[in-house]
Amino acid sequence: MNDDFNIEEERWIPLIGRVIIDFAYIEDSLYRVIQSHLKNTQITYKNLRDTFDIQLALFEKIFISDILDAEEVLGLIKKFTTEANRLKNIRNVIAHNSLGLMFDRKESGEMEMIGFEIENKTNQNVSINYDTFEIHTEELKACRGNLEKLMGIFEEKQLELIKGNDSE
């Protein structure tokens, strides 16, 4: 393998790991809220269609109907779901495609090296270079931060429910 590729790959690894870890946290949080909501029903999480879009929409609906108690939280849930929905496309490109050396054909027919990118194999018009990926990683970090605030609110509501049930 080319030394340049090895060096480039080492540079990308921390960002790829960060995306995978952050999205695992997001998916786990969606699961926790949905599972908690379903605990007194005949429906189980396994019965739900397992797509991120459906889980994210259900998470938002549960938060708005069962947990929400302030306009500030509504803004936070909307911000989180909008960003998570947008960033899932970045996660999918990263998770299902590989790093490669990209070239572009000039009008003269010559091939020009663009640099290293992760290109979506199913849609070659979508690719991510390192600089763009760094930006998306920071956006994902902020998205996860918003979710952590929401999960704090969720945990508080769960404790209130437990205390309420204990006093009955």
Distance (Å, rounded) from C-alpha 64 to C-alpha 53? 17
Which domain does 88 fall in, by range? Answer: 3-166
- Assessment of whether the complete model's pTM goes beyond 0.85: no
Residue 108 is predicted with a pLDDT of 86
* Residues in Cβ contact with 35 at an 8 Å cutoff, skipping those fewer than 6 apart: 45
Q: State pLDDT tens for residues 12-57.
A: 999 999 999 999 999 999 999 988 888 776 665 666 667 899 889 9
Residue 46 is predicted with a pLDDT of 63
Q: Is residue 84 packed enough to be buried (19+ CB in 10 Å), middle (13-18) or exposed (0-12)?
A: buried
Whole-number percent of the chain with pLDDT over 90? 38
Average pLDDT value for residue range 1-15: 83
